[in-house]
């Protein structure tokens, strides 16, 4: 029988590994429980708007992992906008221009003039470090080796926020360093896909389906069937779909919904169940008319908020004369787990938007509030960085592979999903030989 791979999940991770394997001639069947693909990056069309799940930025543009996956399967990633957009930080009650390149740091109003030298020295010191020496240490430990300046520390929270880890007391310094280095080398540190994330989802699906693979939506994998230390396949609709290898792509916190804990040692089970994600809320708005021409993002650290008007840089996302706006608030996982935590965050996010744009809610035609216990699968704090996470090939169930944003990939958020697929594809290939 020809060797085949069953993939659980049709988000960034599942579609990427599906496309990479299918393109290499390996038969794949991808099972997605939802009726649509995309997972936490699912895109909808609503009243003439194209709406991603909150803002979905692509790090490092053409040199980032999303573009690398697409390139590997013969596709390209088209971006939406011109390179030099200005983003703003809401700090001390006003919007302050965020410096784009290190050269701008000496003039940034985000820190007072007397702190700028220390800021520049600390950032340069970071660029000179090897991230591998710092994955297990906090951003605060790094900063305090160079300065005690409180303004510089506050600025480093902004750098932490680039990997959704704005708490410098816990954020992995190595992960932030790795981001800063990649951003420095990239032509575009942050970019957005033209026409929304749908572009990536559609292209990857097409590759799978035109290279002999199969995508089954509305198909939940009930269980991964094991036979000793191997998976014999997946149970779907009560029937066994035999597979030579199984790829699990949902957040690993949900692994034991699909496979018994008895297949793994207790420390593996405990790490998976207790891996801390990032949590938060997002609200997408359709506005009856444009209320600002701002093309960049609005960032705030207290509370942790990211806002944008995507139709300002990509006109295809909203009907003519209207505006799409999207806002995200990140809250600690412990708060999100409390019954009222996410509900309160939605109210607080609305209050923040109102403070910034008093006329905003007069123009809202529709809104889509969403709450996520798992926003990014892994919060990149010390103990959860790339060196700490499970290996891609399970040492316990030998033909089970982990891909997705809680897997052992580089980067943060969706990049981990793309990068883990890039790393997993040759391993699975080798395993099937
Ligand atoms: C509001 C918001 C904004 C974000 N912004 C960004 C951003 O700007 N940049 C960025 O890089 N990342 C961002 N992220 C994170 C990014 O969306 C995720 O990291 C990424 O989508 C994760 O992809 P994945 O494939 O690992 O997992 P998922 O997207 O969760 O995919 C797993 C899939 O598996 C399916 N599934 C689960 N169980 C089963 C089963 N038993 N059988 C079949 N199917 C199953 C699920 O339905 C899901 O579709 C954001 C996330 C959110 C929520």
Model confidence over 26-50: pLDDT tens digits? 999 999 999 999 999 999 999 999 9
Q: What are phi and psi of 5, to 5 degrees?
A: -125, 130
- Please provide the average confidence, as pLDDT, over all residues in the chain: 95
Convert the chain into a string of H (helix), E (strand) and C (coil): CCCCEEEECCCHHHHHHHHHHHHCCCCEEEEECCCCCCHHHCCEEECCEEECCCCCCEECHHHCHHHHHHHHCCCCCCECCCCCCCCEEEECCEEEECCCCHHHHHHCCCCCHHHHHHHHHHHHHHHHCCHHHCCCCEHHHHHHCCCCCHHHHHHHHHHHHCCCCCCCCCEEHHHHHHHHHHHHHCCCCEECECCCCHHHHHHHHHHHHHCCCEEEECCCEEEEEEECCEEEEEEECCEEEECCEEEECCCHHHHHHCCCHHHCCHHHHHHHHHCCCCEEEEEEEEECCCCCCCCCCEEECCCCEEEECHHHCCHHHCCCCCEEEEEEEEECHHHHHCCCHHHHHHHHHHHHHHHHCCCHHHHEEEEEEEEECCCCCCCCECCCCCCCCCCCECCCCCCEEECCCCCCCCCCCHHHHHHHHHHHHHHHHHHHC
**Residue 284, beta-bridge partner list:** 326, 368
Output b/e per residue, 181-208; b: 16+ Cβ within 10 A.
bbbeebebbbbbbbbbbbbbbbbbbebb
| Residue for token pair 């390139």 | 71
Q: Report pLDDT digits (tens) over 79-105.
A: 997 667 889 999 999 999 998 888 888
Q: What is the pLDDT of residue 84?
A: 72
Atom of ligand 1 nearest to the CA of 415: 11
Would you say the CB of residue 192 lies under 6 angstroms from ligand 1?
A: no
Cα(430) to ligand 1 centroid in Å equals 27
Question: Is the CATH number of domain 279-372 3.30.70?
Answer: yes
Cα(12) to ligand 1 centroid in Å equals 7
Would you say the CB of residue 372 lies under 6 angstroms from ligand 1?
A: yes
Report whether pLDDT(129) > 80.
yes
Q: What is the pLDDT of residue 85?
A: 82
CA dihedral 176, 53, 247, 402 (to 10 degrees): 20
The pLDDT of 163-182, averaged and rounded, is 96
CA-nearest residue, atom 29 of ligand 1: 39
Would you say the CB of residue 41 lies under 6 angstroms from ligand 1?
A: yes
**Residue 231, beta-bridge partner list:** 226
- pLDDT > 70 in the chain, percent: 99
Output b/e per residue, 311-335; b: 16+ Cβ within 10 A.
bbbbeebbeeebbbbbbbbbbbbee
Instruction: Indicate the fold that domain 5-42+198-275+384-432 takes in CATH.
Output: FAD/NAD(P)-binding domain (3.50.50)
Enter the tokens of residue 30.
């991808």
The pLDDT of 255-259, averaged and rounded, is 97
Enter the tokens of residue 427.
């391993």
Higher local confidence (pLDDT), 278 or 340: 278
Confidence grade of residue 227 (pLDDT, cut at 50, 70, 90): confident
Q: Report pLDDT digits (tens) over 407-426.
A: 999 999 999 999 999 999 99
Report whether pLDDT(265) > 80.
yes
Report whether pLDDT(121) > 80.
yes
Q: What is the pLDDT of residue 1?
A: 61
Atom of ligand 1 nearest to the CA of 250: 32
Cα(94) to ligand 1 centroid in Å equals 33
Decide if 254 contacts 404 (C-beta within 8 A): no
The region of weakest confidence among 57-71, 100-114, 276-290, 295-309 is 100-114
Q: Which of 19, 28, 56 to mutate to test the pocket of ligand 1 (most atoms within 8 A of CB)?
A: 56
CA-nearest residue, atom 26 of ligand 1: 404
The pLDDT of 108-131, averaged and rounded, is 96
The pLDDT of 248-270, averaged and rounded, is 97
> From CA 235, how far away is CA 206, in angstroms rounded?
25
pTM of the complete model beyond 0.95: yes
Cα(376) to ligand 1 centroid in Å equals 8
Q: Which of 19, 246, 414 to mutate to test the pocket of ligand 1 (most atoms within 8 A of CB)?
A: 414
Would you say the CB of residue 8 lies under 6 angstroms from ligand 1?
A: yes
Domain positions in the chain = 5-42+198-275+384-432, 88-186, 279-372
Q: What is the pLDDT of residue 37?
A: 98
The pLDDT of 241-267, averaged and rounded, is 97
Confidence grade of residue 228 (pLDDT, cut at 50, 70, 90): confident
Cα(122) to ligand 1 centroid in Å equals 34
């Amino acid at each position: 029988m020809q060797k085949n791979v069953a993939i659980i999940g049709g988000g960034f991770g599942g579609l990427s590994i599906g496309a990479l394997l299918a393109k290499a001639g390996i038969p794949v069947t991808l099972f997605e429980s939802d009726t649509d693909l995309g997972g936490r990056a699912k895109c909808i069309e609503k009243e003439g708007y194209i709406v991603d799940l909150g803002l979905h930025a692509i790090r490092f543009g053409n040199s980032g992992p999303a573009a690398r996956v697409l390139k590997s399967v013969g596709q390209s990633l088209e971006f939406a906008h011109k390179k030099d957009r200005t983003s703003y930080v809401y700090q001390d009650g006003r919007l302050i221009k965020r410096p784009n390149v290190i050269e701008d740091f000496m003039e940034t109003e985000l820190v007072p003039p007397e702190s700028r030298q220390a800021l520049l020295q600390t950032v340069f010191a970071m660029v000179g470090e090897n991230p591998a020496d710092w994955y297990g240490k906090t951003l605060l430990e790094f900063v305090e080796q160079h300065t005690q300046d409180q303004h510089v520390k506050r600025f480093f929270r902004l750098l932490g926020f680039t990997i959704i880890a704005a708490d410098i007391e816990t954020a992995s310094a190595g992960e932030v360093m790795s981001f800063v280095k990649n951003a420095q080398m990239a032509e575009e540190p942050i970019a957005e896909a033209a026409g929304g994330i749908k572009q990536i989802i559609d292209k990857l699906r097409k590759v799978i389906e035109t290279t002999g693979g199969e995508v089954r939506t509305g198909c939940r994998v009930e269980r991964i069937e094991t036979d000793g230390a191997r998976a014999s396949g997946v149970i779907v609709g009560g029937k066994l779909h035999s597979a030579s290898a199984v790829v699990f792509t949902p957040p690993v916190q949900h692994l034991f919904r699909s496979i018994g804990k008895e297949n793994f040692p207790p420390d593996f089970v405990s790490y998976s169940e207790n891996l801390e994600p990032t949590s938060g809320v997002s609200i997408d708005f359709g506005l009856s008319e444009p209320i600002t021409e701002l093309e960049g993002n609005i960032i705030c650290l207290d509370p942790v908020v990211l806002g944008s008007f995507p139709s300002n840089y990509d006109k295809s996302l909203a009907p003519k004369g209207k505006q799409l706006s999207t806002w995200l608030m990140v809250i600690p996982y412990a708060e999100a787990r409390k019954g009222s935590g996410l509900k309160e965050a939605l109210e607080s996010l609305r209050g923040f938007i109102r403070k910034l744009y008093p006329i905003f809610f007069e123009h809202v035609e529709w809104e889509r509030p969403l709450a996520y216990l798992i926003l990014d699968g892994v919060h990149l704090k010390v103990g959860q960085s790339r060196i700490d996470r499970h290996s891609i090939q399970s040492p316990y169930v030998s033909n089970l592979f982990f891909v997705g944003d809680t897997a052992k990939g580089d980067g943060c958020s969706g990049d981990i999903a793309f990068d883990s697929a890039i790393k997993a594809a040759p391993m699975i290939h080798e395993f099937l030989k």
